[in-house]
Structure 1
Amino acid sequence: MRWTVHSERPLYTDPWMDVRIADVEITGGRHLEHRLIRTSPGAGAVVMDKEDRVLLEWRHRFIPDTWAYEIPMGGVEAGESPVDAAAREVLEETGWRPGPLCPLVYVQPTPGISDSAHHVFFADTAEYVGDPAEDWESERVEWVPLADVPGLVAGRRLVAGTSMTALLYLYGVGRPTP
């Protein structure tokens, strides 16, 4: 059944997120007060080289206190297209400029609580430009064999939902054809 939203009101708002409470009607005319988070879209990319290695960041996430690999990804800025945001994020976070990007996968990582939408693109070339723009994005940037992805997931060294989805999709389906 489709839930009916009767109203939403803000609980907390800042430039990154809008936490709200919604009055939703479920089966039998019952109502719930459901919390939700509204965010701007995100964009990132899986960059692969000719040796079937993917460009990943090894980083710490303080909220779950975990270290793991992730694809470069970030927010889409006002007036920016998702593909331009993905290219910018790869360059800023890794120091590599991706080649032409094509769509890989679209992900809604937490649809039960958030409208977060992630656009992930694919590039099969990249040019090293220099060090990442910020030293706080990751501990290191590495080219990791795509064949290692299932083992990274099993070993909890790849746990971020969008990164896992994109990399496992690429592993299972193979390189997209433009």
Structure 2
Amino acid sequence: MQNPEANPWKVVSEKEVYTNTWISLIHHEVINPSGNPGIYGKVHFKNRAIGVIPLDVDMNTYLVGQFRFTINQYSWEIPEGGGPLNEDPLDAAKRELLEETGLKASQWTELCRIHLSNSVSDEYGYIYLARELEQFEAEPEDTEQLVVKKVPFSEVYRMVCNSQITDSMTVAAVLRVQLMIIEGSIS
């Protein structure tokens, strides 16, 4: 019996067709799982995705709003960004939280690791819960025009459930925190 988890794809050739500081696009000529020739495009990410859901003692969180070029719409999200592959993901999370919100946290919990769009990209993310928050000055990057708002976590959970928030890292983080609240590991 063949191992169902074995790779059924055969790569005949691959060629980088585009690259920039953040991504590269690779064109693959393949033999697909049914044995027929085909093509596959893969977006390779040169950084890992980092997300942080800050949660204060009153069960408020902080959302970051910005216009997302790729989807041509405004998006409310947890603080997110990229971390170089050679940087510790937690260090990247601390930096992103401070850059986008001005917050520092003294308690950190890794919530999950996530593939963000594994049908077309190899983007891999880490999501953290940040507690015991202190407010400092935000330091956004020059490509970011951000609005930060403090929102009761229960309202953010409703926004996710009503599809008002569709960012995958935010959805995963909010649902994971809600589960932790139900289980009693967050109060």
TM-score, with length taken from structure 1: 0.88
Give the number of equivalent residue pairs. 177
| Cα distance change of structure 1 residues 84 and 90 upon mapping to structure 2, 3 Å threshold | same
- Root mean square deviation, CA, Å: 2.1
Residues 140, 146 of structure 2: 8 Å contact kept: no
Residues 44, 85 of structure 1: 8 Å contact kept: no
| Cα distance change of structure 1 residues 155 and 3 upon mapping to structure 2, 3 Å threshold | same
What is the CA–CA distance in structure 2 between the aligned matches of 1:138 and 1:22, rounded to whole Å?
Answer: 36
Identity across aligned pairs (percent)?
25
Query: Could you tell me which residue of structure 2 aligns to residue 15 of structure 1?
Result: 21
What is the CA–CA distance in structure 1 between the aligned matches of 2:70 and 2:34, rounded to whole Å?
Answer: 38
Query: Could you tell me which residue of structure 1 aligns to residue 81 of structure 2?
Result: 74
What SS does the corresponding residue of 1:79 show, helix, strand or coil?
coil
Unaligned 5+ segments in structure 2 are none
Aligned equivalent of 2:72, options 46, 58, 65: 65
Unaligned 5+ segments in structure 1 are none
One-letter amino acid matched to 2:165 = L
Aligned equivalent of 2:9, options 4, 8, 12: 4
What SS does the corresponding residue of 1:10 show, helix, strand or coil?
strand
Deviates more, 1:104-113 or 1:141-150: 141-150
Q: CA deviation at 1:92?
A: 0.6
| Cα distance change of structure 1 residues 138 and 126 upon mapping to structure 2, 3 Å threshold | farther
Q: CA deviation at 1:136?
A: 5.5
Query: Could you tell me which residue of structure 2 aligns to residue 48 of structure 1?
Result: 55
One-letter amino acid matched to 1:30 = N
Q: Which has the larger radius of gyration?
A: 2
Q: CA deviation at 1:71?
A: 0.9
Aligned equivalent of 2:173, options 153, 160, 166: 166
TM-score, with length taken from structure 2: 0.84
Residues 56, 71 of structure 1: 8 Å contact kept: yes
Residues 42-72 of structure 1: per-residue CA shift (max 9 Å, x gap): 1121110011111211222133222231111
| Cα distance change of structure 1 residues 97 and 31 upon mapping to structure 2, 3 Å threshold | same
What is the CA–CA distance in structure 1 between the aligned matches of 2:161 and 2:15, rounded to whole Å?
Answer: 40
Residues 48-107 of structure 1: per-residue CA shift (max 9 Å, x gap): 001111121122213322223111111112531111001100101111112232211111
One-letter amino acid matched to 1:23 = E
One-letter amino acid matched to 2:171 = M
